[in-house]
Chains A and B, each alone.
Chain A
Amino acid sequence: MSRPAHRRPEYHKINKDLFVLTYGALVAQLCKDYERDEDVNKYLDKMGYGIGTRLVEDFLARSCVRRCHSYSEITDIIAQVAFKMYLGITPSVTCNNPSRTEFSLILDKNPLVEFVEELPAGRSSLCYCNLLCGIIRGALEMVHLAADVTFLQDTLKGDRVTEIGITFLKKLDEKKYRRKK
């Protein structure tokens, strides 16, 4: 595909806006379709999961990540490579437990809510960005990793930052270590 002759910076912004605006229209539509916040959240997660299972191939094709040997490496790649590539931000990563299976991605800035000032009235339990959780979960599952992914903090609910918690559920290499007699 040939590149266009010019690439004005404002058009680059339109491209980014397109995803964010479409996402907003989707959430608005789901709010019309479902009365309960839990149902909207569930659908966003389900759609995200569907996207994640396909997005991971796109990601692996664009990035040349090497094989990971720990959950911590994987989480770093999600934050530093994947988020940067698709959303233009790099969340910071913290590890929440000594066995290193629970992590948090902390987003100071969340592009998905750029045009959202506050949650719609009567929608205080809405996880506006729940699509992201589904995407991460779906992508991880395609590389044979089961994980729970949820929002731990949400700026739309009054928190200072947005925090996504990833809890890996299965050991990566079951037989590799621990050959104790």
Chain B
Amino acid sequence: MADAALFEFLHMEMVAELWAHHSDPGPGGQKMSLSVLEGMGFRVGQALGERLPQETLAFREELDVLKFLCKDLWVAVFQKQMDSLRTNHQGTYVLQDNSFPLLIRMASGPQYLEEAPKFLAFTCGLLRGTLSTLGIKSLVTASVASLPTCKFQVVIQKT
């Protein structure tokens, strides 16, 4: 879908541009850049959360919210469902996407694995932001074992 293409190109350019601007030789510089992207994703996730159809907001359980993210939100944003959802039933969820669209354009190969976190930061923020609008505070991180498969780990924060 053409709309999705425009977002993907923008995302790619943002990763390249913000990285160049914020980068810094030390590991501290790297963290700052990822958190900038994550923060942007959070704002967008919050705003998207506010635009969701009203009936989706009446969830009975935490697990329903996560299922909603994996099915409806992922379809709306990435035109596909999340491939698997696992949980320890104690507030930690692992969402796996076997062909994550923002990683598809990257060639698979071990040398690209290092670059992968930059392409996931925005989406982690997006998930965290949407959850926040749905009343759930969380920490979201992502990992890539082999491109283009990635896992998003959502840890619910109990206040």
Contacts and interface: CB of A to CB of B under 8 A. Distances in A.
A4 interface: yes
14 contacts: A8-B53, A10-B51, A11-B72, A16-B3, A22-B14, A26-B14, A29-B36, A29-B40, A50-B13, A55-B6, A85-B2, A86-B6, A87-B6, A115-B47
Given A11-B72, A55-B9, A86-B6, A18 B36 contact: no
A54 interface: yes
Interface of A: 1, 4, 8, 10-11, 13-19, 21-23, 25-26, 28-29, 33, 43, 46-47, 50-51, 54-55, 58, 62, 85-88, 115, 131
Contacts of B11: 22
B44 interface: yes
Contacts of B14: 22, 26, 47
B2 to A, nearest CB: 5
Given A15-B77, A22-B44, A29-B36, A62 B2 contact: yes
Contacts of A23: 10
A21 B48 contact: yes
Contacts of A115: 47
Contacts of A8: 53
Pairs of residues from A and B, 7 with the lowest C-beta to C-beta distance, nearest first: A11-B76, A14-B76, A25-B40, A19-B7, A21-B44, A85-B2, A51-B9
B76 A25 contact: no
A21 B16 CA distance: 19
A18 B7 contact: yes
B18 interface: yes
B7 A47 contact: no
Contacts of B43: 21, 25, 28
B81 interface: yes
Nearest to A2: B80
A50 B10 contact: no
Contact of B10 (A17, A51, A88): A51
A137 B13 CA distance: 16
A22 B40 contact: yes
A17 B79 CA distance: 14
B17 interface: yes
A124 B72 CA distance: 39
